[in-house]
Amino acid sequence: MCGGDKTELMVERAFSSDLMSDVLTLDTEGLLLITGLANIQTIRTAEMADIHYILFVRNKKVTPEMAELAGENHMVLLATPFSLFKTSGILYKHGLKPVY
Amino acid sequence: MIIEQTYQVRGGDFAHAGDASSKVKKLLKQLDVDPRKIKSIVIALYEAEVNIVAHAWEGIIRILIDRDHIRMVLEDKGPGIADIEQAMVEGYSTASREVREMGFGAGMGLSNIKRNTDQMEITSRVGEGTVLTMVNYF
């Protein structure tokens, strides 16, 4: 949805949460955020926490304002119709590590 | 080198919550501050900025960057905090449903600010407002 030119980048760890307060407590680098919370503060939180990859679950839509802010911060935005649980399970099974 | 910046924050304006923190982040990057230090500073500032938007009517953020530190003073007009000690307890929150829908209001903000700053001080008057001062060394 955004950052299609950065498909070669790799992430090692992921964190699944709809609570941005929890995301702001992490100090892991190079993280994928998996979330069902799609609003401008999701992007702002990622900006502050130096998170460059966000995967939106449950078919959540990215607004033009969100895409613009994500673009300014060189983020990659991905989307899936799957639930947070299913998405996390698939990625975990394929080797993506948890933060804790 | 001393840089001073002032930003206005409007209560309830979630569309722009984080604008000031974003500008401070860009400024610190330009000044070539250690990225890990920048992250702590802007996370604390962003939590504090969201607090003004979530709880107060309006506020002012004053930033002072000196050679080896940044001082951030956030002064708001708002309901104030009756019991600061209780507000610091993780999980304690008075946030509205709207704030929670934005992904905040879990009662984590003040403790996360404390964790990410070298100095933190809160003074508050119920019915008038709150002043939060944060200092981080580079």
Phi and psi (nearest 5°) for A41? -75, -20
Domains contained in chain B, number? 1
Q: How far apart are the first and last CA of chain B?
A: 13
User: What is the pLDDT at residue B133?
Assistant: 98
Virtual torsion, Cα A48, B23, B60, B122, nearest 10 deg: 40
- Find the domain containing B132 and state its range: 3-137
Q: Determine the Cα–Cα distance for residues B31 and B38; give it in Å rounded to an integer.
A: 10
Q: What average pLDDT does range B2-14 have in this prediction?
A: 96
How confident is the model over A42-93, as pLDDT tens digits? 999 999 999 999 999 999 999 999 999 999 999 999 999 999 999 999 999 9
Look up the CATH number of the domain holding residue B73: 3.30.565.10
Tell me which architecture the domain covering A4-98 has in CATH: 3-Layer(aba) Sandwich (3.40)
Is the Cβ of B37 closer than 8 Å to some Cβ of chain A? Answer: no
Least trusted range by pLDDT, from A9-13, A45-49, A89-93, B5-9: A9-13
How far is the CA of A89 from the CAs of A82, A83, A95, B3, in angstroms? Answer: 10, 10, 10, 48
Task: Tell me which chain A residues have a C-beta less than 8 angstroms from the C-beta of B112.
Answer: 21, 24-25
Domain spans, chain A: 4-98
Contact B121, B111 (CB under 8 A): no
User: What is the pLDDT at residue B95?
Assistant: 92
The encoded tokens of residue B55 equal 């709880």
- Shortest CA distance from A29: residue in chain B: B36
Sequence-separated (6 or more) residues with CB below 8 Å from residue A31:
A11, A13, A14, A15, A49, A51, A53, A99
Q: What average pLDDT does range B71-91 have in this prediction?
A: 95
The ipTM assigned to this model is 0.91
